[in-house]
Amino acid sequence: MTRDDNSRSALSIGIQTRLDWLRSRMWFIPGVFAIGATIAAFVLVPVDRLLDQAMPGYLSGMLFVGGPESARLVL
C-alpha cells in the first residue's frame, strides 16, 4: 500500500466511524424523517393546489370532494 492509499483508508474509517455513531443515536433516524416530512409538506402543498386547479371537472368528481369535516369523519 502506498501512503496515499493509507490516508484514504484512514479517512474512510473515520467517516464510517462517524456514520456508525450517528446511526446508533436514537434521535438521528426520527430527525431525518421529521426533516423529510417538513420538506415534503412545503413541496407537496403547492403541488396539490396546482393539480387541483388544473384537473378537469370529470376527474375531480371521482376524487374526494369533501371538506375538513368529511375528512375528519373518514378518519
Using the predicted structure, report yes or no on whether residue 60 has a pLDDT greater than 80.
no
Residue 55 Rama label (left phi>0; alpha psi -120 to 50; beta):
beta
pLDDT tens-digit map of 1-59: 555 555 567 667 888 888 888 778 778 888 889 999 999 999 999 998 888 788 777 77
Dihedral class, residue 67 (left if φ above 0, else alpha if ψ from -120 to 50, else beta): beta
Higher-scoring residue by pLDDT: 64, 23: 23
Q: In the prediction, which pLDDT does 8 show?
A: 61
Residue length of the chain: 75
| Whole-model pTM over 0.75 | no
